[in-house]
């Protein structure tokens, strides 16, 4: 790994950790998934390896400051994998609408997978875990209390990602 890649991972991870911790100080409600947005952005701008590491390290380091647990590793690995996959899904030539929908679907998949896998780790059957993970994005389940928070978070995260990619590319960063 080159020193430029290490520095890029460090900067994006630091930004993700700081903004996630600040967001959690302001509110426990996740209205935008900042670590995932920065992992996706870094994957497009700097490569799949950088995106994977930003996704992984952002969750692990920020959870150490917020509340660590098995979810830290699950979320980190999945964020890294989604960022790696995003490198091959994002297509500048396809246009903004295509890339927004592609981003939204990957963020949606991330949310379902993280919820489902964590429910499985806590003893819920696989089918029930993924059904509850899907339904929980729209309606309160398993201790949740917000309606429609999933699509709101996926939309804001996708918009942030697309805007960051376009703006950083425009500035040649």
Inter-CA distances, 13 with 36, 41, 95, Å: 10, 12, 28
Q: How much is the pLDDT for 2?
A: 92
Q: pLDDT tens for residues 3-47?
A: 999 999 999 999 999 999 999 999 888 889 999 999 999 999 999
Q: How much is the pLDDT for 143?
A: 63
Question: Any residues with CB less than 8 A from the CB of 9 and at least 6 apart, and which?
Answer: 42, 50, 53, 54, 57
Position 139 pLDDT exceeds 90 = no
List the structure tokens of 109. 């998949």
Q: pLDDT tens for residues 68-114?
A: 998 899 999 999 999 999 999 999 999 999 999 999 999 999 999 99
Q: Quick check: 151 and 139 in contact, CB under 8 A?
A: no
Place of tokens 């029930």: 128
Q: What is the domain extent for residue 39?
A: 3-170
Query: Global pTM?
Result: 0.93
Position 148 pLDDT exceeds 90 = no
The CATH number that applies at residue 130 is: 1.10.1760.20
Q: How much is the pLDDT for 142?
A: 64
Position 146 pLDDT exceeds 80 = no
Q: How much is the pLDDT for 136?
A: 80
Position 144 pLDDT exceeds 70 = no
Query: What number of residues does the chain have?
Result: 173
Count the domains in the chain.
Answer: 1
Rounded CA-CA distance 40/84 in Å is 8
């Amino acid at each position: 790994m080159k020193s430029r890649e290490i520095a890029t991972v460090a900067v994006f991870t630091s930004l993700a950790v700081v903004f996630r911790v600040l967001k959690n100080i302001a509110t426990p409600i996740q209205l935008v998934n900042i670590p995932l947005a920065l992992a996706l952005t870094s994957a497009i701008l700097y490569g799949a390896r950088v995106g994977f590491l930003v996704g992984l390290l952002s969750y692990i380091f920020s959870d150490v400051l917020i509340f660590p647990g098995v979810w830290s590793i699950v979320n980190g690995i999945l964020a890294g994998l989604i960022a790696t996959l995003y490198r091959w899904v994002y297509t500048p030539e396809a246009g903004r609408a295509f890339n927004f929908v592609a981003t939204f679907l990957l963020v949606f998949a991330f949310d379902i997978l993280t919820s489902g896998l964590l429910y499985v780790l806590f003893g819920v059957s696989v089918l029930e875990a993924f059904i509850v993970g899907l339904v929980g994005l729209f309606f309160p389940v398993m201790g949740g209390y917000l309606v429609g928070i999933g699509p709101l978070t996926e939309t804001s995260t996708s918009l942030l990602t697309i805007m960051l990619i376009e703006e950083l590319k425009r500035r040649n960063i």
